[in-house]
Amino acid sequence: MEIKVDNYLDLTIEEVYDVISNVHIWPASLNDNVKKINFLNSMIKYFIEKEEYEKCAKLQRLIDELENREQDSGRSRVVPN
C-alpha cells in the first residue's frame, strides 16, 4: 500500500490541529507564546489554501487568547496609590 506524501502531510496537520485546538497540548519546542502564535499563523495559511475557514477562525481565536495572555503578563498586578 502506497501512501502519498501530500496525504500524510494533510493527516499530520489535521492531527496537530485537533490536539492543539481540542486537547490544548503543545509540542515542547513551542515553549513561548510568540512561537505558538507564529505556528498558528502558519496553520491558518495552510487551512486558507484548503478553504477550511472554520478552522482558521478557531485558530485565530487561539491566537487572540495567546496575545491577550502576553499583554496581561506584561502588566503589573500591583495597583498604584
Which sign does the torsion angle of CA 4, 6, 8, 14 carry? negative
Please give the Cα distance from 81 to 32 (Å, whole number). 33
Q: What pLDDT, on the 0 to 100 scale, is given for residue 27?
A: 84
Please give the Cα distance from 20 to 27 (Å, whole number). 9
Taking the CA atoms of residue 25, residue 31, residue 34 and residue 35 in that order, the dihedral angle to the nearest 10 degrees is: -80
Side-chain-facing half-sphere of 72: CA atoms under 13 Å: 7
Q: What pLDDT, on the 0 to 100 scale, is given for residue 4?
A: 67
Considering the entire predicted model, what is its pTM?
0.78
Q: What pLDDT, on the 0 to 100 scale, is given for residue 81?
A: 45
**pLDDT (tens digit, 9 = 90+) per residue, 20-56?**
999 888 888 888 999 999 999 999 999 999 999 999 9
The domains of the chain are located at: 5-72
